[in-house]
Amino acid sequence: MTGVYYDSARRAFAVESGARLINVYEALFKGWNVTIPGGICYSVGIAGHIAGGGYGLLSRAHGLTVDHLYAVEVVVVETGGRVRTVVATREANDPHRDLWWAHTGGGGGNFGVVTRYWFRSPGATGTNPSDQLISPPSKVLVSAIEFPWDELDEREFHRLLKNFGAWHERNAGPDSPTTSLSSLFNVSSKAHGGLGMFTQVDAGAPGARKLLDDYIAAITEGVSVTPQAATRSMGEIGAMPGFEAPRELPWLQATRMVGTNNPTITNPSSRGGHKSAYMLKNFTDAQIAALYKHMTRPDFQNPDTMLVLFSFGGKVNAVGPNATANAQRSSIFKMCFQTFWEKPEQDEFYLGWLRELYGEFFAATGGVPVPGTTADGCYINYPDNDVASASYNRSGVPWTTLYYKDNYPRLQRVKRRYDPTNYFRHALSIQPI
């Protein structure tokens, strides 16, 4: 179940649910010069990535993956245990359209077993396969730089993060002229040795090199530390020495390089903890202070620990919060708090560290990123049982609101129709009404 092919009857690209992202990108690009705006963790399977509303380096320019989802094939379990296969499309007259909608960010393991997706971009016309999905840039400008911890004090750390947030506040709109740029800023623990920033720009966009140069200048404004070569891993991205001066690469070459060279992320024996947040505004001073405190703790010497900041907004924010199940459509950047370790006996220490950081970071809203004026909840593809626990979520806001906002009742109705016995369930699954 790893096939990727064009389905002329649906005028859409069929992707079977066992395909990995890197294989999907290669097949679509080599066959038809098209792609989907998916993620950089390329060993990830397509099924879960799409179900949770996957995103990637092309999302600021083209939206989320689910904005290009035309149909989904799902095996559901009915009352009495009868199993049947349903194909649900985004067509307005499709009686199963709600099931399609639920797979545009409603999360995995909720409604049935996905066996196949079909992709066609909104507004696509004609019968030529190459016109049915977005085309990636032919070439991209790639930059990878590092800010050594040895040269950073708290003031400069604070300024770097404020600069990152300020740029994204200014450039998050769907009509921003900067949507061809996407960046990943990896705020690592001091034990790691440096903060890394990866940036990619469509090399064919007007003024691409100036856009990249201006972005780096904006992030480093008022900071005396000199950016250096990225000789250490940067979150999902491995070390990239030689890219401190931007280089132009074919898109597929850059795609392969970025997502397949980090041994920490691809280590099958790693244990890890993840927490997420969407941000609507820049960091507060208290949030940066909490981050600095925990990343520099003398008793915390884990180099595989980071807060990853992902550029967001742009065309992601051109879609309404109810048009898909992914409700977060006003964010400026997305965050993933994560740490990795090897031994089970270390679980308590590292999970405790992560919980303390996250709780202090969002102390003003009860320890979680409550949707409001500054944050917009959590990302279901980084599931976190803690937000469903009153021990860690002291906000009074249910976990379902953090992940789904106002879309949860509709997801419950879909659940009731297609999984009436709650056959598919887990700690954070949709509960039928």
Q: Alpha-carbon distance 219 to 164, whole Å?
A: 5
For 85-109, how does the pLDDT look when each residue is reduced to its tens digit (9 = 90+)?
999 999 999 999 999 999 999 999 9
pLDDT in tens, 177-187: 999 999 999 99
Across 132-155, average pLDDT: 98
Same domain flag for 12 and 102? yes
**Same-domain pairing of 301 and 368:** yes
Is 351 a residue whose pLDDT tops 60?
A: yes
Mean pLDDT to the nearest integer, 327-334:
99
Q: What is the mean pLDDT of the chain?
A: 97
Report if residue 27 sits inside a domain: yes
Cα separation of 356 and 302, whole Å?
A: 15
Distances (CA, A) of 332 to 22, 183, 309, 371: 26, 12, 10, 13
Mean pLDDT of 367-393: 98
Q: Are residues 236 and 305 in the same domain?
A: yes
Q: What is the pLDDT of residues 265-294, one digit of tens each?
A: 667 788 999 999 999 999 999 999 999 999
Nearest to 350 by CA among 238, 248, 270, 234: 270
Residue-level pLDDT at 265: 65
- Among candidate residues 131, 161, 183, the one where a domain is terminated: 131
pLDDT given for residue 335 in this prediction: 98
Nearest-CA neighbor of 90 among 123, 130, 58? 123
Res. 74 pLDDT band, cuts 50 70 90: very high
21 lies in some domain: yes
Confidence of residue 234 (pLDDT cuts 50, 70, 90): confident
**CA–CA dist 149, 160 (Å, integer):** 12
CATH value at residue 149: 3.40.462.20
Same domain membership, residue 326 and residue 209 = yes
Is residue 427 situated within a structural domain? no
Same domain, residue pair 397 and 256: yes
Token couple for 382:
């980084």
Choice between 268 and 29, residue whose per-residue pLDDT is larger: 29
Q: Is residue 429 part of a domain?
A: no
Residue (of 328, 162, 350, 185) closest to 274 by Cα position? 350
CATH of the domain at 98: 3.30.465.10
Token pair belonging to 390: 């009153």
Domain match, 193 and 53 both: no
For residue 261, what pLDDT is reported?
Answer: 57
**What is the reported pLDDT for 372?**
98
pLDDT at res. 96: 99
**CA separation (Å) from 24 to 5, 288, 291, 374?**
10, 38, 36, 35
- Look-up of token digits 């709780």: 359
| Percent of the chain surpassing pLDDT 90 | 94
Alpha-carbon gap, residue 195 to 230, rounded angstroms: 9
- pLDDT tens, 282-325? 999 999 999 999 999 999 999 999 999 999 999 999 999 999 99
Residue type, 47: A
Is residue 220 in some structural domain?
Answer: yes
178 and 312 in a single domain? The answer is yes
Q: What angle do CA 316, 321, 327 make, to 5 degrees?
A: 85
Amino acid symbol at 203: A
pTM across the whole model: 0.96
215 and 349 both lie in a single domain: yes
Q: For residue 184, what are the β-bridge partners?
A: 198, 310
Assess contact for 238 and 317: CB atoms under 8 A.
no
| pLDDT score recorded for residue 264 | 65
The DSSP line for 320-352 is -TTTSS----S-SEEEEEEEEES-GGGHHHHHH
Answer yes or no: is 394 within a domain. yes
Count of domains for the chain: 2
Would you say residue 228 has pLDDT above 90?
yes
Max intra-chain CA distance, the chain: 68
The CA-to-CA distance between both ends of the chain, in Å, stands at 33
Please tell me which residue, 343 or 264, carries the higher pLDDT value.
343
| End residue of a domain, out of 131, 153, 185 | 131
Say if CB 331 and CB 314 are below 8 A apart: no
Q: Is residue 329 within 8 Å of 60, Cβ to Cβ?
A: no
Structure tokens at 320: 């309404």
**Which of 83, 99, 131 is at the close of a domain?**
131
Dihedral (CA of 45, 49, 51, 52) sign: positive
Confidence band of 386 (pLDDT split at 50, 70, 90)? very high
User: What's the mean pLDDT in 210-230?
Assistant: 97
**273 and 326 housed in the same domain:** yes
Q: Do 222 and 352 belong together in one domain?
A: yes
Instruction: Look at residue 151 and tell me if it is in a domain.
Output: yes
Question: pLDDT, tens digit, for every residue of 423-433?
Answer: 999 999 999 98
At 40-72, the pLDDT tens digits run 988 899 999 999 999 999 999 999 999 999 999
Question: Which residues lie below 8 Å from residue 344, measured CB to CB, with a gap of 6+?
Answer: 271
- The rounded distance, in Å, linking the Cα atoms of 293 and 406 is 35
Task: Provide the domain limits for residue 375.
Answer: 139-405
pLDDT of 205 reads 98
**Are 101 and 200 found together in one domain?**
no
Question: Do 95 and 213 share a structural domain?
Answer: no
Tell me if 326 is assigned to some domain. Answer: yes
